[in-house]
A and B are shown apart, each in its own frame.
Chain A
Amino acid sequence: MFRNVAELVELAISQNKKISELMIEQEMNVTGRTKEEIFSQMDHNLKIMEEAVERGLKGVKSHSGLTGGDAVLLQQYIEKGNFLSGETILDAVSKAVATNEVNAAMGTICATPTAGSAGVVPGTLFAVQKKLNPTREQMVSFLFTAGAFGFVVANNASISGAAGGCQAEVGSASGMAAAAIVEMAGGTPEQCADAMAITLKNMLGLVCDPVAGLVEVPCVKRNAMGAANAMVAADMALAGITSRIPCDEVIDAMFKIGQSMPTALKETAQGGLAATPTGRELEAKIFGIPLNRRESKS
């Protein structure tokens, strides 16, 4: 049983196992289910993620009309070949966006770790798939590795925007993805932890301020940048760059920042982008209500 990232890394090194294997073993111990049952459930979740990306890349529109179609725009842009950053990174971004556009349209997705942050893990997974040509088993393992790091965050900090802001959702998702990319690319357990730490450090303080309370603006684009962040941090860790602050301490810092974050910035649609003139205008247009109805009373 691992309680934090340090224990997870220590177990992986001392038993010479992958983090995904440790996560599967722990799941077997906790639930009493067989390895095959656990693996097959995760394989099903992977299938749901594939279907969501496929649907999003065909183009969807949310009921509010605020989001949809950006994944398609980005894929068309990649095809033209004149992009400035990189193909894998943009592919990850477009697939993260595709997933969250489907989520915003009340489509079927797999939460990773939440629905609002469901794009980052599959987006990066399907982008690095092209580069690394993993087996199906390695792809399912990617999700167990991501799950192991998310498990630590959920139990030591939070994965809820209402409790900890967007850093707890997209921040956690990005850290999980970065760690899983590193393992799939052949990195060490320490490099996984460094990738997670580097990613999460750059997401600290990120508030949850959804316009009109909808999981659309800015959530979809935060998943885009979360995916990009995870890709770059994974590359940095694989290059041998380490985090000066250990991963567990970054997670703890995230938790404390979340606690001291004002309620207006924790999924209440009272502050941040939700409270901008345009944010309020969109809200009034969607719900047909007076502009100040949702203003904070305090």
Chain B
Amino acid sequence: MKYKSVFDIIGPVMIGPSSSHTAGAARIGRLARTLYGREPKWANISLYGSFAKTYKGHGTDVAIVGGILDFDTYDERIIQAIDIANEHGMKIRFIEEDALTDHPNTARIQIGDDKGELELVGISIGGGKVEITELNGFELKLSGHHPAILVVHNDRFGAIASVSNILAKYEINIGHMDVSRKEIGKMALMTIEVDHNIGDHILHEIEQLPIVLKVTKIVD
């Protein structure tokens, strides 16, 4: 079931005018920001399908930028988000794509600064609900509705066991998990949705595993 909570239906509380094109767009932007961990210096935002055709009318552009600025769906600053980003010195580029995507409301967001970049693809599936379908080239499925940890690791035996052993040690229950890789034996991405927010010391312990390259988290 895609929708799990009654508040997916009666909600979110949001700035208009569109739950998919405004609130959903803001949530995709905000997930990019959360995973990136800081305010980027630049953002390239590619819009597909219905997003590309109607983004100006729906405020999809200000909403995504608002999300990148870490604004929630009901934050009235969303309306001025592009101006605020400009004041912060953020360079923003919008690209209207013609390519057909699996879902009509698709956005690809690349953000970065001198220290690093992040690229993700998000879809807005209706009523403000979103899914991240791609992160730095890895396919995944992430709703952002639960706390989650994302572990970039070497694609070798024992990786899943060593990470899940640490979670088990701290009595953390895994609600959903998937593993994705681009090529056999190279890098892989573990996406683990959990029931409760995870402390930084646990993330640090996972990061110390020889097989692990990077750990990020999404808090509820």
Please report A residues at the B interface, Cβ cutoff 8 Å.
Answer: 3, 23-24, 26-27, 30-32, 38, 41-42, 44-45, 48, 64, 102-116, 118, 121, 143-144, 146-148, 150-151, 154-155, 158-163, 168, 176, 210, 212-216, 263, 266-270, 286-287, 294, 297
Which of A32, A107, A147, A269 touches B9 (beta carbons < 8 Å)? A147
Q: How far is the CB of A154 from chain B (nearest CB, A)?
A: 4
Interface size classification for chain B = 35 or more
Closest Cβ of chain A: how far from B6's Cβ, in Å? Answer: 4
The residues of A that contact B53 with a CB separation of less than 8 Å are 213, 268-270, 294
Are A215 and B17 in contact, CB atoms less than 8 angstroms apart?
yes
B195 and A114 contact, CB distance less than 8 A: no
Q: Contact between B20 and A45 (Cβ–Cβ < 8 Å)?
A: no
| B39-83 interface with A by 8 A CB criterion | 49-50, 53-59, 74, 76, 79
Say yes or no: is B143 at the interface (Cβ < 8 Å to chain A).
Answer: no
Instruction: Report whether B4 and A30 are in contact in the complex, using a CB–CB cutoff of 8 Å.
Output: yes
Q: B104 is contacted by which of A23, A162, A214 (Cβ under 8 Å)? A: A162
- Chain B nearest CB from A216 CB (Å) reads 7
A12 to chain B, nearest CB (A): 16
Min Cβ gap A29→B in Å is: 10
B16 contacts A103, C-beta separation under 8 Å: yes
* Interface stretch (choices B124-132, B151-159, B178-186): B124-132
**9 further A-B pairs in the complex, CB-CB below 8 A; given A106-B59, A114-B128, A216-B17:** A41-B7, A103-B17, A105-B16, A107-B15, A108-B14, A111-B11, A111-B14, A154-B9, A294-B53
> Do residues B57 and A215 form an inter-chain contact, with CB atoms below 8 A?
yes
A147 to B7, CA, bound (A): 8
B8 sits at the interface (CB 8 A): yes
Task: Say yes or no for B2: interface residue by CB 8 A criterion.
Answer: yes
- Known contacts A162-B104, A267-B104; A151 and B16 CB within 8 A of each other: no
The reply to whether B10 and A154 form a contact with Cβ atoms under 8 Å apart is no
Chain A contacts for B9, CB-based, 8 A: 112-113, 146-147, 150-151, 154, 159, 176
- Shortest Cβ distance from residue B10 to the other chain A in the assembled complex, whole angstroms: 4
A167 shortest CB reach to chain B, Å: 13
Whether, in the assembled complex, B86 has its beta carbon less than 8 Å from a beta carbon of chain A, the answer is no
**For residue A158, which residues in chain B have a CB less than 8 angstroms away from its CB?**
126
CB of B23 closer than 8 Å to a CB of A: yes
Inter-subunit contact A161/B10 (CB<8 Å): no
Chain A proximity mask over B111-146: 1 for CB below 8 Å, otherwise 0? 000000000000001111000000000000000000
Task: Say yes or no: A109 contacts B104, CB within 8 Å.
Answer: no
Q: What is the CA–CA distance of A26 and B1 in the complex, to the nearest angstrom?
A: 13
A23 with B16: CB separation less than 8 A: no
**In the complex where A3-B1, A32-B195, A154-B2 touch, is A147 in contact with B10 (Cβ < 8 A)?**
yes
Residues in B lying within 8 Å of A, measured CB to CB: 1-20, 22-23, 49-50, 53-59, 74, 76, 79, 98, 103-105, 125-128, 195
Q: Which of A108, A112, A161, A266 contacts B15 (CB 8 A)?
A: A108
Bound-complex Cα distance A250 to B197 (A): 41
Q: How far is the CA of A16 from the CA of B56 in the complex (A)?
A: 49
Distance (whole angstroms) from the CB of A21 to the closest CB of chain B: 12
- Which residue from chain B places its CB closest to the CB of A286 in the assembled complex? B57
Q: Considering the chains assembled together, what is the distance between the CA atoms of A104 and B17 in angstroms?
A: 5
Residue among B2, B13, B58, B125 with the most chain A CB within 10 A?
A: B13
Residues of A within 8 A of B127 (CB): 111, 113-114, 154, 159-160
B76 neighbours in A (Cβ, 8 Å): 108
Do A114 and B18 have beta carbons less than 8 Å apart? Answer: yes
A111 touches B23 (CB 8 A): yes
CA distance A297 to B96 in the complex (A): 14
Q: Which residues of A contact B2 (CB under 8 A)?
A: 154-155
Cα distance A176–B9 in the bound complex, in angstroms: 10
> 26 A–B contact pairs at CB < 8 A?
A3-B1, A24-B6, A27-B7, A48-B13, A102-B16, A104-B17, A106-B79, A108-B14, A110-B12, A111-B11, A112-B9, A113-B126, A113-B127, A114-B128, A115-B19, A144-B6, A146-B9, A151-B6, A151-B8, A155-B3, A158-B126, A213-B53, A215-B58, A216-B17, A269-B57, A297-B98
